[in-house]
Amino acid sequence: MVSVTWGIALALCTQLVSAGDPLATVSWRTGNDKVDTIVDALTAEEKVSLVHGTVDSDGNQQQAGYSVPITSQGIPAIRLADGEAGINIVQNTTGSPTQLNVAATWSLNAAYQHGVITGKEAKLLNMVVALSPRVNILRDPVEGNFWQSYSEDPYLNARLGIQGVKGLQDQGSMANAKQIGPSSTGASSGDTNSVVDLQTLQELYWVAPGTLLQEGNAATLMCSYAQINGIPACQYEPLFNTVRDDYNSSAIVMSDWGATHSTAESLIAGMDLEMPTGSYYDALYDYIYVSQNLSESYLNRAVGHILAKYDEFGLLGTTTEGSSPLPPDVVVDHAT
């Protein structure tokens, strides 16, 4: 049912997916009057700046990602840090067990407490998004990121991952269900093509991240480096249709770092946030406002998803300035 090829797509096996009309007007109103008013008030440049990451000018923590503030509209800076084994920044955070260690306990409580520690320290350090839990199916023991996920079983990944999400978000931090793809080989160049039918994707590879969205209400979701039937995951429309329609999720969908491979196609498909920079999405200004070959409503939809989630977590109207590393003797009240 599944085969993986390197460097070349199997054209004869490629599932054709039609792209949406770039000039169509899509529905983007969020139902949140505050958010919709902000979207209407943003300039074109401000909207584009919100849908991709950039370099943190106050990057003393060297975290994974950063999104600029727009202070005139009460939108804070957003910092994102890896979190599969504790918050991964420069120094002075708790080195938690890996998710692989957590899975070996078969303990839902251990998974929850792992999330609590990560979420609590993310909050203390003004890391708005902790990029965890990872719920990929482990298939290759020599894969470099093997330790970051829980197990080879999608059901176990889902049950433990829900607890990780709840532990994190109970502290007021945003969790990140990652990566939806499939993504089980660790390849990061985008040259892995997984030839998989939609039923297999939905019943096997998307079970864990989908459950984290449906039952755990994960705030964000990451699309993977892999191609799906010859199409990069971050512009694969059936994936986004499943997330929005079948899972009924309002999560911010972001790319893995460098996993974006297009501008209009990715935005039309439904990817909200390009990370870590705007290699593709920075061009949206020209696509929409100069060449006028892409409807602004697609951009409004992405910005609306992002700001609605910010509002849900109480971020609008606040500041999230970069903090200094925790002193080594800080007491965070972690369970032992």
State residue 146's pLDDT score: 77
State residue 321's pLDDT score: 63
Tell me how far apart the alpha carbons of residues 333 and 2 are, in angstroms, rounded to a whole number. 46
Helix, strand, or coil (residue 286): helix
> What Cα–Cα distance (Å) separates residue 195 from each residue in 1, 11, 124, 266, 325?
8, 10, 43, 20, 44
State residue 187's pLDDT score: 57
pTM of the model: 0.90
How far, rounded to the nearest angstrom, does the alpha carbon of residue 4 sit from its chain's CA centroid?
24
State residue 190's pLDDT score: 65
State residue 319's pLDDT score: 72
State residue 66's pLDDT score: 96
> Which residue from 232, 238, 229, 170 is spatially nearest to 202, judged by alpha carbons?
238
Per-residue pLDDT tens for 295-311? Answer: 999 999 999 999 999 99
Helix, strand, or coil (residue 254): strand
Whether 256 sits among the annotated catalytic residues: the reply is: yes
Instruction: Enumerate residue ranges in the chain where pLDDT < 50.
Output: 1-16, 328, 335-336
Per-residue pLDDT tens for 190-208? Answer: 668 889 999 999 999 999 9
State residue 327's pLDDT score: 52
Q: Per the residue annotation, which of 246, 256, 282, 286 is the catalytic one?
A: 256
Q: Work out the mean pLDDT of the chain and round it to a whole number.
A: 89
Strand blocks (E) in the chain: 3-6, 65-67, 78-82, 129-131, 174-180, 192-195, 220-223, 227-228, 231-232, 252-255
8-state DSSP, 173: P
Domains in the chain, please, with CATH?
A: 25-312 (3.20.20.300)
* Pairing between β-strand 65-67 and β-strand 78-82 as defined by DSSP bridges: antiparallel
| Identity of residue 263 | T
State residue 13's pLDDT score: 39
In the chain the first and final C-alpha atoms are separated, in Å, by 44
